[in-house]
Amino acid sequence: MKKMKQVALRLLLVLSALSMVCTGAWAAEAVIGFTGPLSGPGAGYGRDNLNGLKMAADDINKAGGITVKGKKYTLKIESYDDMIDPTAAVNNARRLRSRSGARVIYNPVFNTIAPLMQINEQRGSDFLLMAYSSTPKIEAIKNDTTVSIPPPFTAYVQAFSDIAWEKGWRKAAMVVTLGAYGDEWREAFKHYWTKKGGEIVADKPANYYTDTDFSAQLSAALAANPEFLLIGGPSEPTGLVIEQARNLGFKGGFMLVDQAKMDYIADVVFKGDLSTMKDVIGIVRVLNLPSQVIADFTKRYEETYKVHVTFEAALNYSSLFAVAKAMEAAGTVSDPKAIKAAISKVLPQSGDTVPTPYQGILFQKLLVEGSVGVIADGKYQKNYQYIWWAKDENAFNKIKEKMVTSPNVEIRWMPVEGYLQQ
């Protein structure tokens, strides 16, 4: 009798398992890969990107995952540390593709994105590269299976400069981070600023990854009597530059490159005290984004990961929702080109579902507003959102109609060369 009960129980378990498989209750996994800096000087930045993906995958899975041709899938994030080493990044991507089955792989540094773009279209080892870098050089490389996630930094060069001009600033000195990214920013800013009629009175780059004392570069820059400083690299050392400039007696304003986040500097470096940041232009504070879910997103993110929320986290979060919907629309989790092609079908996103809704895609570039903020008189002031891909005012107004609005946000049209939709 006991033996018969055991047989019956085993049969019941088998039938239950078969039922779950047939009804899709047991979902298959779609692996999303990540290779980026998770140790060394760029570790915090890499984890901001990765955390955003993890949170998105968790939220998608809690909502039931995705359904592709009637089959249920959950998203699984697998990550490897490449320490911003190109060879390690390529090896990591190959491992994610061949061993884990990842057909979508994220990377957040152009130094490693560029070599990944040389391998991600190879037959039999292809994958959709989700590239988090603001450099326009990504769009200069022909690649049909790459998507670029943030706005181009040239949009911020123009937006920041226009606001500085409105403030009456004309004389700039630059103390920007060394390296390819900093060099690009300085050249783009110099070109745009001088074309407007502004003046660059000093250019003193510094290594924001190794230096903690910036007094030599700042002293040389301040000797030229600038009205404002263009500064930036990672957020924490950028905060040190602001503090040291004030200690040297600088009373003027600051413009932050898009890598440096004003709210991180204010909340983490200066512990919420905005008195030192009395006149700053930079990326808007995440909490000031005009999204219905931004407050909840920020609260959940900071409680989960015990770090300050960043734009990297928010934009990666939103991008993975677009990828997940594209997989459903394409009817595949394994064809990178089909997934890429379907992204345009699932956009625009809504501000009541993701913190930074994408409006569309132009070739490789996801389209999301350039969000700019100003700190003045010891508090956050009016914010601006720039539509940088609209070819004319009619196109701008159509985009604007679909956007989430807020009384404290001014939406502006600012066409950026090389990114205008036809």
pLDDT reported for residue 404: 77
Rounded CA separation 142/411 (Å): 32
Q: Which residue has the higher pLDDT, 20 or 371?
A: 371
How does residue 7 score in pLDDT terms, banded at 50, 70 and 90? very low
pTM here?
A: 0.90
Distance between terminal CA atoms of the chain? 77
Total number of residues shown for the chain: 422
216-246 confidence digits (pLDDT tens): 999 999 999 999 999 999 999 999 999 999 9
pLDDT reported for residue 422: 52
- The DSSP code for 288 is G
Rounded CA separation 168/326 (Å): 46
pLDDT reported for residue 402: 83
Name which of 116, 137, 142 is nearest 127 in CA terms. Answer: 116
Inform me whether the pLDDT recorded for 42 exceeds 50. Answer: yes
124-178 confidence digits (pLDDT tens): 899 999 999 999 999 999 999 999 999 999 999 999 999 999 999 999 999 999 9
Rounded CA separation 395/277 (Å): 36
**Domain 28-151+291-367 shares a fold with domain 153-290+370-413:** yes
Over residues 187-213, the mean pLDDT reads 95
pLDDT reported for residue 378: 84
Inform me whether the pLDDT recorded for 308 exceeds 80. Answer: yes
How does residue 297 score in pLDDT terms, banded at 50, 70 and 90? very high
How does residue 26 score in pLDDT terms, banded at 50, 70 and 90? low
Top CATH class of 153-290+370-413 equals alpha beta
Q: How far is CA 361 from CA 133, 151, 290, 400, in A?
A: 15, 11, 20, 16
Q: How far is CA 234 from CA 57, 110, 156, 304, in A?
A: 26, 15, 16, 23
Q: How far is CA 85 from CA 106, 111, 112, in A?
A: 15, 8, 7
Name which of 317, 314, 350, 343 is nearest 328 in CA terms. Answer: 343
Instruction: Name residues whose C-beta falls within 8 Å of residue 49's C-beta, 6 or more positions apart in sequence.
Output: 34, 36, 106, 108, 132, 312, 313, 316
Instruction: Give the chain's mean pLDDT.
Output: 92
How does residue 180 score in pLDDT terms, banded at 50, 70 and 90? confident
- Other CB atoms within 10 A of residue 284 CB: 23
Inform me whether the pLDDT recorded for 287 exceeds 50. Answer: yes
Partners of residue 383 on adjacent β-strands: 409
Q: What is the CATH number of domain 28-151+291-367?
A: 3.40.50.2300
Q: Where are the domains of the chain?
A: 28-151+291-367, 153-290+370-413
